Chain A
Amino acid sequence: MALTALIGFNVLSSIAALILLSIGLGVIFGMMKIINLAHGEFLMLGAYATVLSTNAGLNLFVAMLVVAPVFVGLVGLIVERGIIRFLYGRMIDTMLATWGLSLGLVGIITTIFGTTVKGVAAPLGGFSIGPYQTSTYSLFMIAMAIIVVAGIWAMLRFTRFGLIVRATMQNPAMAAALGVSPPRIYMATFVLGAALTGLAGGVLVPVSGVSPTMGAAYIARAFITVIGGGAAMVTGSSLAATLFGFIDQVVTFKTTPVFGQVALLISAVIMIRVLPQGITGRFFRRSL
């Protein structure tokens, strides 16, 4: 019983991590059909911002919840203005350019900080499920995932900005005719996606090592979650994260974490084959 509860808890925290990892990418992909291959490096930048400001004496939670998103959001702004805006509508070219960006960012961070792994101890201690000890920080991550998803959903559903974003997503030409400037909305969305990614990078710091190449470990998972989710950014990413997180943890429990990852990726590849438009291309088509 306690074991089942523990596995259930692990599944939940794995889902939460996947949601946090992929939601920034999902916002950018859902809105502009841009696959940002520098996503992993945005995570990495968020993580570095968190570690550095914590080491400078800032409170860990301020660092991860404020500094990381603001910093990566600014980086996103520069990237969008400098590179991405010339490439809208050219999917393969954006993938290549952002891949170049990702290599460049790894290079810059390696040059500045070296390849050593940095980290911060997990705060909040632990609690026990029956005879098993587990980390309270995972609870925090689950809460963060819920807050982020609910926040984006509410923003899209209830605010004026959300309405404009949805309209631009559906029909940019019509939105432009009604006085909205699609390039501006694209810019804002890209910055929002980057900031969310920075937040995720910050939140992941206590549970993972921080090194210049850490992005590569996450990029495939984030990617496949977003693509598996399909066009609806919030529902799609959440559903796909739930499915893949579940598969990952169950296989991990039966074998090793490596095979958990492999099972996740294989099932995702099969799902793209069966549902090329993602989960929300077939089901829940009217969701956000």
Chain B
Amino acid sequence: MTPRSDWRGFCAVIAAMLVVMFGLPQVTGLFGLVQATVFIAMAMVALSQGFIWGFGGIMSFGQSAFFGLGGYTYAVAVLNMGDSSLPLVFAVVLPAVFAALLGYFMFYGRISDAYVGVITLTVTVILFNVMNSTAGDIYHIGNAPLGGFNGMPSIPPLNMPGDASAALDPEQFYYVCMGLLIAVYAMLRWLLTTRFGRVTVAIRENETRAMLLGYDPRLYKLIVFTIGGGIAGLAGCLFTNWGGFISPTVFGLSQSAQIIIFVLVGGLGTLIGPILGAVAIEFVISVIGTQQTLNADLILGVVLVVFVLLVPQGVVPVLRHAVQSLTQRRRRVPVGAAKEARS
């Protein structure tokens, strides 16, 4: 794609998201907004997975580790501090630091792709086991009991900075979430246009060649992974805020699987794909939840298998390619178009 069409696409996406942000409250009631808010939290974590997997080429099976860590960090910090501004920052920084440590451990050990998957998965299982066993009064951080398997209830929501008594109402919280999602999306798009972003994509395409050209893939992967961890932590914080509750199931395997399905369905190697995938899948799950015959796990599993076998590149790239081949048929654009559409 040319820089100009790239720029046009970016503006179109931002405009569409702004329309949704301000349009949705006009057409739906409070219940719809509250539901949209959790979709946005999921879209945020999908965005982080889409970024590290689709652009950094890092196969993390444990993005839910950072998601859950962000949620727990916010919960513990806000229960101790009252005001929610610093806990929000902590919920981004702590998962990012954890991702940096884990990433250093993996990438500087030159561990291959599949084993990165296994290690991230194992870390998630460890966190799940540990948090599950923290029931009882002896497990607490400051004033915040960790609650073990039962989770932590009644976590205070975000409030106006500096004033702990002015908690945001659900509508305000919706605007905050959507605004953050747009901001993160724009930031990632910008990041990918910088020199750093280009080198990252080059490393994904051919790590050895990038290394021979003098770039250090380990460092780039580490930075990408750290950014991804921070965004996932932010998503976890929003999720915790949404329900006022967090439990170890955020570290569960099906949570990790869901995040991967969001990205895979939406489209690998795009940023809008994971967002749309998350919203679509979450919507389907919430519809399934209202009826009794079919189990959500079953549907998710079938979706995952079907997409891996039949549409491995996801919906958005397929659509984009279709649109491009329609508009470009007259100009007879050569073979390269299909290849570029993926990048």
Query: In the complex, are the beta carbons of A99 and B132 less than 8 A apart?
Result: no
Residue B114, interface by CB 8 Å: yes
Query: In the complex, are the beta carbons of B115 and A100 less than 8 A apart?
Result: no
Residue A86, interface by CB 8 Å: yes
Query: In the complex, are the beta carbons of B130 and A258 less than 8 A apart?
Result: yes
Type the 1/0 row for A251-265, where 1 means its CB is closer than 8 Å to any CB of B. 000001011011001
Q: Which residues of B contact A18 (CB under 8 A)?
A: none
Query: In the complex, are the beta carbons of B296 and A87 less than 8 A apart?
Result: no
Query: In the complex, are the beta carbons of A276 and B110 less than 8 A apart?
Result: yes
Residue A147, interface by CB 8 Å: no
Query: In the complex, are the beta carbons of A111 and B298 less than 8 A apart?
Result: yes
| Interface majority SS (helix, strand, loop, mixed), chain A | helix
Residue B333, interface by CB 8 Å: no
**Closest approach, in angstroms, between the C-beta of A116 and any C-beta of chain B?**
15
Q: Which residues of B contact A93 (CB under 8 A)?
A: 308, 312
Query: In the complex, are the beta carbons of A220 and B117 less than 8 A apart?
Result: no
Q: Which of B273-309 contact A (CB under 8 A)?
A: 294-306, 308-309
Type the 1/0 row for A261-287, where 1 means its CB is closer than 8 Å to any CB of B. 110011011001100100000000000
Provided the pairs A93-B312, A104-B301, A107-B297 are in contact, do residues A258 and B133 lie with their beta carbons within 8 angstroms?
Answer: yes
Q: Which of B12-68 contact A (CB under 8 A)?
A: 59, 61
Query: In the complex, are the beta carbons of B122 and A223 less than 8 A apart?
Result: yes
Residue B186, interface by CB 8 Å: no
Which of B171-179, B191-199, B252-260 participates in binding chain A?
Answer: B252-260
**A87, A91, A103: which contacts B254 (Cβ < 8 A)?**
A103
Residue A170, interface by CB 8 Å: no
The tally of residues in A whose CB lies under 8 Å from a CB in B reads 40
Provided the pairs A103-B254, A261-B129 are in contact, do residues A227 and B115 lie with their beta carbons within 8 angstroms?
Answer: yes
Query: In the complex, are the beta carbons of B297 and A99 less than 8 A apart?
Result: no
Query: In the complex, are the beta carbons of A262 and B304 less than 8 A apart?
Result: no
| Interface majority SS (helix, strand, loop, mixed), chain B | helix
Q: Which residues of A contact B115 (CB under 8 A)?
A: 227, 272, 276
**Closest approach, in angstroms, between the C-beta of B50 and any C-beta of chain A?**
15
Query: In the complex, are the beta carbons of B114 and A97 less than 8 A apart?
Result: no
Provided the pairs A93-B312, A224-B118 are in contact, do residues A110 and B300 lie with their beta carbons within 8 angstroms?
Answer: no
Residue A102, interface by CB 8 Å: yes
Query: In the complex, are the beta carbons of B260 and A96 less than 8 A apart?
Result: yes
Residue A95, interface by CB 8 Å: yes
Residue B234, interface by CB 8 Å: no
Query: In the complex, are the beta carbons of B301 and A269 less than 8 A apart?
Result: no
**A83, A99, A101, A272: which contacts B119 (Cβ < 8 A)?**
A272
Query: In the complex, are the beta carbons of B302 and A104 less than 8 A apart?
Result: yes
**Distance in angstroms between the alpha carbons of A92 and B132 in the assembled complex:** 29
Residue A35, interface by CB 8 Å: yes
Q: Which residues of B contact A233 (CB under 8 A)?
A: none
Q: Which of A89-135 contact B (CB under 8 A)?
A: 91-93, 95-97, 99-108, 110-111
Q: Which residues of B contact A216 (CB under 8 A)?
A: 252-253
**Closest approach, in angstroms, between the C-beta of B255 and any C-beta of chain A?**
11
Residue B7, interface by CB 8 Å: no
Q: Which residues of A contact B312 (CB under 8 A)?
A: 93
For A263, the closest partner residue in chain B by CB is B126
Q: Which of B239-271 contact A (CB under 8 A)?
A: 252-254, 257, 260-261, 264
Q: Which residues of A contact B122 (CB under 8 A)?
A: 220, 223-224, 265, 268-269
Residue B190, interface by CB 8 Å: no
For B256, the closest partner residue in chain A by CB is A99
Query: In the complex, are the beta carbons of B118 and A272 less than 8 A apart?
Result: yes
Query: In the complex, are the beta carbons of A110 and B295 less than 8 A apart?
Result: yes
Query: In the complex, are the beta carbons of B126 and A102 less than 8 A apart?
Result: no
Q: Which of B98-120 contact A (CB under 8 A)?
A: 105-106, 109-115, 117-119
**B118, B253, B306, B309: which contacts A227 (Cβ < 8 A)?**
B118
**Distance in angstroms between the alpha carbons of A275 and B312 in the assembled complex:** 32
**Distance in angstroms between the alpha carbons of A269 and B109 in the assembled complex:** 12
**Closest approach, in angstroms, between the C-beta of A111 and any C-beta of chain B?**
5
**Closest approach, in angstroms, between the C-beta of A44 and any C-beta of chain B?**
13
For A260, the closest partner residue in chain B by CB is B129
Q: Which residues of A contact B111 (CB under 8 A)?
A: 272-273, 276
Type the 1/0 row for A240-256, where 1 means its CB is closer than 8 Å to any CB of B. 00000000000000001
Query: In the complex, are the beta carbons of A256 and B113 less than 8 A apart?
Result: no
**Closest approach, in angstroms, between the C-beta of A217 and any C-beta of chain B?**
9
Q: Which residues of A contact B118 (CB under 8 A)?
A: 35, 223-224, 227, 272
**Distance in angstroms between the alpha carbons of A265 and B114 in the assembled complex:** 17
Query: In the complex, are the beta carbons of B301 and A100 less than 8 A apart?
Result: yes
**Closest approach, in angstroms, between the C-beta of B125 and any C-beta of chain A?**
4
Most interface-central of A105, A107, A216, A219 (chain B CB within 10 A): A107
Query: In the complex, are the beta carbons of A92 and B114 less than 8 A apart?
Result: yes
Interface set of B (CB-CB < 8 Å, partner A): 59, 61, 105-106, 109-115, 117-119, 121-123, 125-126, 129-130, 132-133, 252-254, 257, 260-261, 264, 294-306, 308-309, 312
Q: What are 12 A-B residue pairs whose CB atoms fall within 8 Å in the complex?
A: A93-B312, A99-B304, A100-B302, A103-B304, A104-B300, A110-B298, A220-B122, A223-B122, A258-B132, A258-B133, A259-B133, A269-B122
Q: A95-B114, A97-B304, A106-B297 are in contact. List 5 more A-B contacts (CB 8 A).
A: A35-B118, A96-B304, A100-B308, A107-B301, A268-B122
